[in-house]
Structure 1
Amino acid sequence: MTETSSPGRPTVLLWAIAGVLLAAVVAVALYKAWPLLNPTLSEVAPLDPSCDLRSGPCEARFGGGESVRFAIEPRSIPVVTPLRLVVQTAGFDVRAVEVDFAGVDMNMGYNRAGLEAVGPGLYEGQGTLPVCVRARMEWEARVLIHTADGISAAPFRFETRRD
């Protein structure tokens, strides 16, 4: 009796191994990226509902007396246009500052801008808001202050309007 092998069997095995390896690579990438996408926050300042970034800078205060002042220019806050982001901190030993833009009731993907120190407690950078299918979109700009003790966040809400 002669033994015959199926010509498709090695190919199926190779595809199965490739699939398992791909799943493992995706799992490791998600595990490594999770802290970047969802950082653990040591403190979050209370949201000031009277803040209007279109009128001018807004300020958030933390429990320990620290504060963050945030401004966006141009004040009309257009989408798909470079925005100048300005953050002024007081009372923090800052290692880095980022601004994370998130849709309040719609996932708009990863929209985070790193800011550069331009003076004592003063940070500037550029960010861009993506276009949304809605004519009016509510956003939260979360200023992330990286310190030796962790990340403190100051939330600021605003809306964009499309004509």
Structure 2
Amino acid sequence: MSMKQARWLIGSFIVLALLSIVWSHRPGTLQLETPVGGALLPVSVPTDCSLKAPGCDLSLGELGSVTVQAPARIVPLHKFVLTVTPSAELAKNLGAVSVDFQMIGMDMGVNNYPLQRAADGAYSQTIILPVCTTTRTDWVALLMLHTPRGAYLAKIPFSVDPR
């Protein structure tokens, strides 16, 4: 066996090993990419909650509430800004805020975005979602809000607009 063939064989084994690792996870479940310390507290999302304009109000109990809002039109491969605006009482206790976009049953890659806090206390980030090759448009935004009491997780379903 020549050195060139040996390199090709080793390279093939490495690629196959990496592919088996990627394919072994279960994309049919919603997973958090960010490890959470402390309690993970679910946030009740109203059935009429719309991530797209006009937005959605989410209650975190006695801590306060947040308004989550994106533009009225979200198109894959086009930038949009997601904004999370905490109420005055929650703004004092809110730490890191991030959002992870996932599609149930599909592996759409890593779409996790930390939101940046602005001077007015709102958190925002420019986001670009990938195109689904099967033309599905249903997504779930996993919004993570870190507080001293634990991390709050809201699962907000939404749809992107066709191109």
Shift of residue 39, structure 1, vs aligned partner: 3.1
Question: How is 1:78-117 mapped onto 2 (pairs within 5 angstroms)?
Answer: 78-90=75-87, 91-92=89-90, 93-117=93-117
1:84-141 deviations in Å (ceiling 9; x for gaps): 1100113431221111111134232221111111135311111111110233321111
Shift of residue 50, structure 1, vs aligned partner: 0.8
Instruction: Show the counterpart of 2:65.
Output: 67
Q: Percent identity?
A: 26
Q: Which runs of 5+ in 2 are unaligned?
A: 1-9, 22-30
| Structure 2 CA distance for aligned equivalents of residues 48 and 132 of structure 1 | 27
Instruction: Show the counterpart of 1:145.
Output: 145
Greater Rg by CA: 1
Counterpart selection for 1:52 from 50, 53, 64: 50
Matched-pair contact (CA < 8 Å) for 1:101–1:140: yes
TM-score by length of 2: 0.68
Alignment RMSD (CA, Å)? 2.9
Number of equivalent positions: 134
After superposing on structure 2, the runs of 4+ consecutive aligned residues of structure 1 that deviate more than 2 Å are 38-41, 52-55, 62-66, 104-107, 147-150
Q: Which runs of 5+ in 1 are unaligned?
A: 1-14, 27-34
Matched-pair contact (CA < 8 Å) for 1:112–1:127: no
TM-score by length of 1: 0.68
| Structure 2 CA distance for aligned equivalents of residues 97 and 84 of structure 1 | 14
Instruction: Show the counterpart of 1:130.
Output: 130
